[in-house]
Amino acid sequence: MLEPIRPPKYVFLMELPLSVQLSGIHKCLQAPQRLEESALQLCRFAQAQSEFGAYLDLDSSLQEQWEELEISPDQ
C-alpha cells in the first residue's frame, strides 16, 4: 500500500519580504510555473475543508501583513 505524499515544509521568515523568500518556496514546492508568474495565497484547512484567503503581497514581509491577514496565534 502506498503512503500519501507528505506536504513540503518551509519555514517562513517573518521579517523578510516574501519576494526574497520566493525562490526557496518555489524550489521547495517544485512548482512548474516560472518564478515570475508565481503568487502566494493563504489557504486554511479545517475539518477536511479548505478555505482560500487573500493573496500575499510579495513586496512585504509576513510581519507587515499579519494584522490584515486575520491569522490567530494558534493557526
pLDDT at 27: 93
Tens of pLDDT, residues 5-24: 788 889 999 999 999 999 99
Residue from 73, 34, 75 nearest 53 by CA: 75
Maximum pairwise Cα distance, the chain? 45
pLDDT at 39: 93
pLDDT at 72: 59
Contact 59, 19 (CB under 8 A): yes
pTM of the full structure: 0.74
Q: According to the 3-state scheme, what is the secondary structure of 27-75? A: HHHCCCCCHHHCCCEEEEEECCEEEEEEECCCCCEHHHHHHHHCCCCCC
Tens of pLDDT, residues 39-65: 999 887 777 788 888 899 999 999 999
Three-state SS at 9: coil
pLDDT at 5: 78
Q: Residue ranges of the domains in the chain?
A: 18-69
